[in-house]
Chains A and B, each alone.
Chain A
Amino acid sequence: MRIELRGVSKSYGAVRALDSVDLDLSHGITGLLGPNGAGKTTLMRILATLLSPSAGSVRVEGLDPSKPRDRLELRRRLGYLPQDLGLYPRFTVFEFVDYLAILKELDERRDRHRRVRAALAAVGLEDVARRKIKTLSGGMARRVGIAQALVADPSLLVLDEPTAGLDPQQRARFRELLASLGEGRQVVLSTHLVEDVAAICTSVVVLWGGRVAFHGTPQDLRERAAGRVWSTAEPSPGALTSWRTETGAYRVVGDRPAGDAAELPPTVEDGYLLLTSGLGEPVHA
């Protein structure tokens, strides 16, 4: 799988959600970071063949989603988790995933049922397969959404906020699952949690006001904060962030504070904060 975006823009009336985005993504897990309204969901929907850009071109493994035949082929290879996940409350968990599996052209009944069970097992829902969806917690419902995205063994996974609503254990489990899925296929996920990206992604795209503000590895993003993170005894009001840690010292991100300061190793989050602090207020779509 190879994804190429050239000059992709999307406007809703006067609002520009995406503004000439150029991106090249290859195998692995790409994390899309950015505040609400930065254009993440618009980009995800374009990749999921649901929106066509107002301008620019999209190619996924050479397929052009604006052509009906290519779009159909792409939908055969796609697993998609929307941000606003709608489920049928009266269906059972198994029934719902089976419904999507049948629409994804898994016609052989027994084989399909096995795949549904395997997908439910992958997200840890095999024991609630016969429960009605309306009885599930939010985190479980989200996992039903992930299971339906996986069920037809897609080569492209587009996951919009997959970790929203999951508790820390479930998030850890989901990261393990995703890391195993990332081999041999293309995964694009959006998140507002920098830690998700740091944990599993092989590349990061930061969207800001509909533009690509950064594209590189999580390490690259972290390196942006090298030499900009400090430990001092005093708070540093002029810095980007400055908080008291459990040791009593202040952790400061920004220019070298006055007085005694020791350099600390940066995190991906520091890199993200430094990057976005230089960009000004994002335009809200």
Chain B
Amino acid sequence: MSHPRALLPLIAEGLRPPEDVRAHLASCESCADAVEALSPLDLGYVWDGVASEADAPRPGVLERALVRCGVGDGTARFVAATPSLRPEWLLASAGTLALAALGMAARPGNGLSLVVLLAPVVAAALVAFAYGPASDDAYELVAATPLSPLLALLLRLAVVLSANSVLVLAADVVAGGPGLRPSWFLPMTFVALVAAGVGVRTSPLLGAGAGIALWSAAVFTTVSLSEEPERLLWGAVAQVLYAVGSVAVLAALCALVVRSGGFVTGANERRTA
């Protein structure tokens, strides 16, 4: 069609043109430039805004939930990007605990609770892969941002331990246990923190391995030494030890992160020097 030039000032004043004129505006550079010059609004600027919002992904479920609870945008996004909170990790953990729970439910009242025994093992794996140069691909990029490294560490630990606690709680209830009980929480936390500490300094795999080895050793020793392994593993004395141990490991981990200025290079520091 010929250029609908006489219409352009009226379109720029809000007149809705017929469809053929609209199509012309989208395909004719010269008319588009003229109408943009006439427009009372900055059409290019608005388009940049439209395009950027269209390209921006919608925040995920966890991130939206955190923001609704009053958590800052940046913090929420950082938590939601935790490597070991990805669906396959959570599914694997939930699966392991579910198997244990079903086993327990099939043969109730039979000695040590499998769920409670496995809780620290699952937590060690999840936590070791939550933070650190080897488990977070963008660790070095994140470390160079103003995000407080201590906050970053604590956030990741807290969110992964919470997720794991929910899974254990559910599994314990399925298995016929009381759910909320002190027997699993403190040993789980302690073993997870050991895994995190070793993991940050070396590699997540070694970290998880260290946590699991520590817990297995404790379980086998008590089972072979004592008639009442529950008392030794979960009694008052043991709980105090777990609590003290957790605080000590956490303090050491925080000190390490603070002293390094947020860039814990661990074992691979020399390789990339």
Contact = CB atoms under 8 A, between A and B. Distances in A.
Q: Do A and B come from one complex?
A: yes
Nearest to A67: B261
B73 interface: yes
Interface in A97-115: 98-100, 102-105, 107, 109-110, 113-114
Interface string B66-91: 00000011100110010000100000
Contact of B57 (A48, A89, A94, A103): A94
Which range contains the number of A residues in contact with the other chain?
35 or more
Interface residues of B, number: 36
A175 interface: no
Contacts of A224: none
A113 B52 contact: yes
B203 to A, nearest CB: 15
Interface stretch (A77-85, A165-173, A225-233, A265-273): A77-85
B146 A12 contact: no
Interface stretch (B29-37, B101-109, B133-141, B169-177): B133-141
A81 B270 CA distance: 19
B141 A148 contact: yes
Contacts of A13: 270
B147 interface: yes
Nearest to B81: A99
A151 B272 CA distance: 26
A230 B130 CA distance: 60
B159 interface: no
Contacts of A113: 49, 52-53, 55-56
B273 A285 contact: yes
A130 interface: yes
Contact of A12 (B136, B141, B261, B269): B269
Given A50-B261, A84-B140, A75 B145 contact: yes
Contacts of B138: 86-88, 96, 99-100
Contacts of A285: 273
Interface in B127-169: 136-148
Contacts of A107: 72-74
Contacts of B262: 50
A63 to B, nearest CB: 13
Contact of A129 (B48, B55, B140, B263): B55
Instruction: Give the 6 A-B residue pairs with the shortest CB-CB distance, closest first.
Output: A86-B137, A113-B52, A117-B52, A50-B263, A129-B55, A103-B145
8 contacts: A76-B146, A82-B140, A86-B141, A94-B56, A100-B141, A102-B74, A104-B146, A118-B48
Interface of B: 48-49, 51-53, 55-57, 72-74, 77-78, 81, 86, 136-148, 261-263, 265, 269-270, 272-273
